[in-house]
């Protein structure tokens, strides 16, 4: 076989292999983005010229999101937002439109405290889509109702309030918990305190177990002494009972 033919076959084989690898990579990327963004993937594809353009857009959102300092809420902040949301819901009974506007503002404030930029609605939506794609459509629909220039019906406002609450709860609870706070502290070089606290807790539990063991031992010893005493008294009572009838019987005779 001529050398040029061998080279041609190798070049073609490499090209075909490269094309297969590229197609597989693109398919894996598509499935990953679909799984992560859900309905937002289909929406972005519909808005863009092609699926590849949509995938580039979503990948860019992921890249931007990684640069954000997204953090969980502290327990006190979470409780504060819960109280503020309850006040907004109470206001809805008498003033639906102002209450919905306040719900939108409260949600924006919550985003900012979590670390999301709030410079514009479209950017908010793009940033939220990375981790909150499942509730994002609720945010869009509620925001659209709240922004209606000619006003909205009470039923529309009620629907917007429910949708805002769905997004609010998603942002409120996402990342919450002591483990998330510990992870954030460790990432910033404050893990020694957590380890010392864990060690102290372990030592306290060990001391409690030792004390409990001593208490159990003392209790068991007391119970044994009590049992021995009862057995001794019972034996003495039985001995006296067996002796008394003979004495009374002999006296009768």
Q: ∠139-143-147 over CA atoms, to 5°?
A: 175
Query: What is the model's pLDDT at position 194?
Result: 43
Query: What is the model's pLDDT at position 91?
Result: 95
H helices present in the chain, as ranges = 3-37, 39-47, 51-67, 75-94, 96-114, 121-131, 133-146, 154-173, 178-187, 191-252
Tokens matching residue 107: 């949600």
- pLDDT higher for 246 or 74? 74
* Residue (of 49, 18, 44) closest to 33 by Cα position: 44
Q: Mean per-residue pLDDT for 36-54?
A: 85
Tokens matching residue 40: 């937002």
Query: What is the model's pLDDT at position 149?
Result: 62
**Tens digit of pLDDT for each residue in 72-130?**
999 999 999 999 999 999 999 999 999 999 999 999 999 999 999 988 899 999 999 99
Query: What is the model's pLDDT at position 177?
Result: 47
Q: Mean per-residue pLDDT for 222-250?
A: 46
Query: What is the model's pLDDT at position 236?
Result: 52
Q: Are 99 and 91 in contact (CB under 8 A)?
A: yes
Query: What is the model's pLDDT at position 246?
Result: 41
Tokens matching residue 97: 């439109």
Mean residue pLDDT of the chain comes to 75
Q: Are 81 and 110 in contact (CB under 8 A)?
A: yes
pTM of the model: 0.60
Cβ contacts of 187 within 8 Å, gap of 6 or more: none
CA distance 167 to 132: 8
**Tens digit of pLDDT for each residue in 181-200?**
444 444 444 444 444 444 44
């Amino acid at each position: 076989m001529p050398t040029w033919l061998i080279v041609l076959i190798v070049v073609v084989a490499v090209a075909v292999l490269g094309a297969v690898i590229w197609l597989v990579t693109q398919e894996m990327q598509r499935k990953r983005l679909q799984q992560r963004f859900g309905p937002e993937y289909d929406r972005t594809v519909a808005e863009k010229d092609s699926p590849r353009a949509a995938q580039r857009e979503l990948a860019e959102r992921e890249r931007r999101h990684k640069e954000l300092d997204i953090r969980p809420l502290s327990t006190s902040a979470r409780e504060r937002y819960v109280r503020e949301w309850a006040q907004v819901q109470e206001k809805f009974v008498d003033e639906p439109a102002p209450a919905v506007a306040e719900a939108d503002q409260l949600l924006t404030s919550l985003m900012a405290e979590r670390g999301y930029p709030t410079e514009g609605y479209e950017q908010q939506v793009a940033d939220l889509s990375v981790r909150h794609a499942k509730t994002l459509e609720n945010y869009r629909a509620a925001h659209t109702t709240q922004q209606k220039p000619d006003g909205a019906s009470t039923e529309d406002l009620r629907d917007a309030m429910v949708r805002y609450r769905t997004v609010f709860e998603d942002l409120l609870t996402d990342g919450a918990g002591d483990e998330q706070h510990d992870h954030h502290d460790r990432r910033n070089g404050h893990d020694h305190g957590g380890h010392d606290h864990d060690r102290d807790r372990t030592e306290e539990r060990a001391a409690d177990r030792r004390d409990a063991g001593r208490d159990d031992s003392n209790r068991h010893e007391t119970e044994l002494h009590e049992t021995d005493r009862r057995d001794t008294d019972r034996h003495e009572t039985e001995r006296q009972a067996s002796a008394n009838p003979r004495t009374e019987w002999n006296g009768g005779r």
